[in-house]
């Protein structure tokens, strides 16, 4: 039998990391079994659902690389795939349950039920629908409905153990009397989650229901529905919740949680998926955690998924993403980085081939240090936006300058640099050895001041890589020209003189 799984989000907001992990586990399971992955939109909550969210949701999912075989946009044999387009199916099945007296009309008002609930809560009883309308004779109920009385349809729950096997949690059960008579059809004719879900899963021939842990208690109700409708139970697998770093439920205050935010920050979809897969599951081979979606689907094992909730860890996500970024290689990363640099106004909207080639060198110099593509901005700021005033005001830079001989190195470096027409890498190296000879400084005491002279910072990419970038960059047609070596040293020295003049005792 073909494995059929589904991801069934509600279009009530952005796609969330928790949802994406659920989608991923479904996808992984489908792919490793040559199965079908269905995307179903659960939009029966009319007040919260928006078609705008449906679009965003699919966009996020497409970006992630999880592709679906059936769904609202791609169609399929078991459509429609949007629940609001399936209301007739729910009504049909509801009619069946009604005629078999497995369900009944309930005429209690929302207010009355709320009152009942409060009263039960107040006396310490479990709040459940009393079943008041259960005993209204079906004929009388039908007549009342025909007369236009507002009514919902409720399921008759039963006594006795309700149980099912869960691939992740094992055998799960609850006493039937714990389950109240839940609503199958609302007064407006739409179906709430539990009923719509079961009808759809049956009709869409879903073999494995893989969803969030929060649905375990819904599953008991759904088992009742499968029984009443006379359908065979699918396999169930429930996934634990993703928690924030502090162990509470993941939310906005833990940082980004919606997928579009991760995309904007420059996380690679494959890396996000890789990390999410690791949240609740471990690859069989220890120490081999960086995996592509294809490798994941080959090694993934649903029955080995962890039951306990997992905390979302940014440090590890960053590491996973960095690893994927390195795998990607410089040319592709350059393409990804361009939009971020354009946003800063550093790169023209349509960079020339010459600029792109130079950019390749820029990316080459920094790409090992990027956790996410977005980081390219702060890593390359010293190239595109040279600001000695700001740089020299940094206490750490000032401390480096206060080292014995530091200023002398900069002056000497400045003088030597001025003597050369072109400053390619070889010339630069020659200049450095001259400075070394004249000042007697070496190692850190030599290079630290030179770094400050060139970047007004004490840390950054290798100077040897930076020199050609500065020199070649100055000839490029960029929105703001790249300051070449001479200009940089001159500017730093000017600021330095101002700075020294203002230092009492100097």
Residues 436-455 that bind RNA (CB under 7 A): 443-444, 446-448, 451
**Strand bridging mode 152-155 / 183-185:** antiparallel
Exactly one of 55, 73, 100, 175 binds RNA (CB under 7 A); that residue is 175
- The residues, ordered by sequence, that sit 6+ positions from 208 with a Cβ below 8 Å of its Cβ are 3, 4, 5, 29, 167, 234, 235, 236, 237
Smallest separation, CB 453 to RNA (Å): 11
273 binds RNA (CB under 7 A): no
10 binds RNA (CB under 7 A): yes
192 binds RNA (CB under 7 A): yes
Exactly one of 139, 232, 308, 502 binds RNA (CB under 7 A); that residue is 308
Closest CA to 236 of 217, 210, 215: 210
Residue span binding RNA (CB under 7 A) among the ranges 30-38, 211-219, 265-273, 348-356: 211-219
Number of residues that bind RNA (CB under 7 A): 87
The whole-angstrom separation of Cα 174 and Cα 183 is 19
Distances (CA, A) of 278 to 245, 301, 484: 15, 12, 46
The whole-angstrom separation of Cα 14 and Cα 53 is 6
- Residue 63 vs 369, nearer CB to RNA: 369
The whole-angstrom separation of Cα 46 and Cα 53 is 13
Exactly one of 57, 310, 410, 417 binds RNA (CB under 7 A); that residue is 310
Exactly one of 369, 403, 438, 486 binds RNA (CB under 7 A); that residue is 369
Residue span binding RNA (CB under 7 A) among the ranges 118-126, 256-264, 423-431, 483-491: 118-126
361 binds RNA (CB under 7 A): no
Six-digit token string for 282: 């471990």
DSSP per position, 430-484? HHHHHHHHHH---THHHHHHHHHHHHSSS--S-HHHHHHHHHHHTTS--SSPPP-
- The residues, ordered by sequence, that sit 6+ positions from 502 with a Cβ below 8 Å of its Cβ are none
Smallest separation, CB 371 to RNA (Å): 9
425 binds RNA (CB under 7 A): no
Exactly one of 137, 160, 230, 287 binds RNA (CB under 7 A); that residue is 287
Smallest separation, CB 238 to RNA (Å): 8
391 binds RNA (CB under 7 A): no
322 binds RNA (CB under 7 A): yes
DSSP per position, 318-380? HHHHHHHHHHH-HHHHHHHHHHHHHHTTSS-SS--HHHHHHHHHHHHHHGGG-SSGGGHHHHH
256 binds RNA (CB under 7 A): no
Encode 471-484: b = buried (16+ Cβ within 10 Å), e = exposed: bbbeebebeeebbb
- Residue 46 vs 332, nearer CB to RNA: 46
35 binds RNA (CB under 7 A): no
Whether residue 218 contacts residue 211, with contact meaning beta carbons closer than 8 Å, is answered with no
156 binds RNA (CB under 7 A): no
249 binds RNA (CB under 7 A): yes
Exactly one of 133, 278, 363, 453 binds RNA (CB under 7 A); that residue is 278
- The residues, ordered by sequence, that sit 6+ positions from 310 with a Cβ below 8 Å of its Cβ are 240, 242, 243, 279, 280
Place of tokens 């002279």: 453
Task: Cite the DSSP H helix spans in 147-250.
Answer: 193-203, 216-229
Exactly one of 152, 347, 409, 431 binds RNA (CB under 7 A); that residue is 152
Smallest separation, CB 182 to RNA (Å): 6
Smallest separation, CB 340 to RNA (Å): 18
Interface mask toward RNA for 224-243; x: CB under 7 A: ----------------xx-x
CB atoms within 10 A of CB 347: 22
Exactly one of 38, 141, 172, 478 binds RNA (CB under 7 A); that residue is 172
Residue span binding RNA (CB under 7 A) among the ranges 3-11, 73-81, 94-102, 254-262: 3-11
Whether residue 236 contacts residue 198, with contact meaning beta carbons closer than 8 Å, is answered with no
Q: Can 252 be counted among the known catalytic residues?
A: yes
Distances (CA, A) of 242 to 28, 256, 300, 490: 18, 13, 19, 54
Dihedral sign, Cα of residue 333, residue 338, residue 343, residue 347: positive
132 binds RNA (CB under 7 A): no
Smallest separation, CB 67 to RNA (Å): 22
Smallest separation, CB 499 to RNA (Å): 20
Smallest separation, CB 303 to RNA (Å): 8
Residue span binding RNA (CB under 7 A) among the ranges 319-327, 402-410, 419-427, 497-505: 319-327
The whole-angstrom separation of Cα 181 and Cα 225 is 12
Whether residue 6 contacts residue 38, with contact meaning beta carbons closer than 8 Å, is answered with yes
Binders of RNA among residues 44 to 63 (CB under 7 A) are 44-45, 48
117 binds RNA (CB under 7 A): yes
- Residue 351 vs 367, nearer CB to RNA: 367
* Active site amino acids: 252
């Amino acid at each position: 039998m073909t494995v059929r799984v589904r991801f069934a989000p509600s279009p009530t907001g952005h796609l969330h990391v928790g949802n994406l992990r659920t989608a991923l586990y479904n996808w992984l399971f489908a792919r490793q079994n040559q199965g079908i992955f269905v995307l179903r939109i659960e939009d029966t909550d009319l007040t919260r659902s928006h078609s705008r969210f449906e679009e965003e949701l699919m966009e996020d999912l497409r970006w992630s690389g999880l592709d679906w075989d059936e769904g609202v946009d791609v169609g399929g044999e078991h459509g429609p795939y949007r629940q609001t387009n399936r209301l007739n199916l729910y009504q049909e099945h509801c009619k069946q349950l009604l005629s078999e007296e497995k369900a009944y009309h309930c005429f209690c008002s929302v207010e009355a039920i709320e009152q009942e609930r409060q009263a039960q809560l107040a006396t310490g009883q479990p709040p459940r629908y009393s079943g008041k309308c259960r005993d209204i004779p079906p004929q009388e109920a039908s007549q009342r409905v025909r007369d236009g009385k507002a009514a919902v349809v409720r399921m008759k729950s039963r006594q006795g153990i309700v149980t099912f096997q869960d691939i992740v949690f094992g055998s799960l059960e609850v006493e039937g009397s714990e389950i109240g008579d839940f609503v199958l059809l609302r007064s407006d004719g739409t179906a709430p989650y539990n009923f719509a879900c079961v009808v759809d899963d049956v009709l869409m021939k879903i073999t494995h229901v893989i969803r969030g842990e929060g649905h375990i208690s819904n599953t008991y109700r759904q088992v009742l529905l499968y029984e009443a409708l006379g359908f065979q139970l699918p396999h169930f697998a429930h996934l634990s919740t993703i928690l924030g770093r502090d162990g509470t439920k993941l939310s906005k205050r833990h940082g980004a949680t919606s997928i579009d935010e991760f995309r904007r920050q420059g996380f690679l979809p494959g890396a996000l998926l890789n990390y999410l897969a690791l949240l609740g599951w471990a690859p069989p081979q220890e120490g081999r955690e960086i995996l592509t979606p294809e490798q994941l689907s080959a090694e993934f094992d649903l029955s080995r998924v962890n039951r306990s909730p997992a905390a979302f860890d940014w440090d590890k996500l960053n590491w996973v993403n960095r690893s994927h970024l390195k795998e990607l290689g410089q040319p592709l990363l350059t393409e990804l980085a361009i939009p971020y640099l354009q946003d800063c106004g550093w790169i023209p909207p349509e960079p020339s081939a010459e600029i792109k080639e130079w950019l390749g060198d820029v990316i080459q110099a920094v790409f090992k240090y990027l956790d996410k593509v977005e980081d390219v901005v702060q890593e390359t700021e010293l190239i595109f936006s040279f600001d000695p005033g700001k740089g020299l005001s940094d206490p750490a830079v000032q401390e480096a300058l206060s080292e014995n001989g530091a200023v002398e190195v900069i002056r000497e470096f400045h003088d030597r640099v001025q003597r050369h027409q072109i400053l390619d890498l070889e010339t630069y190296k020659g200049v450095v050895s001259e400075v070394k000879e004249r000042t007697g400084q070496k190692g850190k005491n030599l290079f630290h001041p030179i770094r400050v002279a060139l970047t007004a910072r004490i840390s950054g990419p290798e100077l040897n890589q930076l020199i050609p970038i500065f020199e070649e960059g100055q000839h490029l047609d960029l929105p703001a020209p790249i300051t070449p070596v001479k200009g940089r040293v001159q500017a730093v020295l000017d600021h330095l003189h101002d700075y020294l003049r203002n230092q009492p005792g100097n």
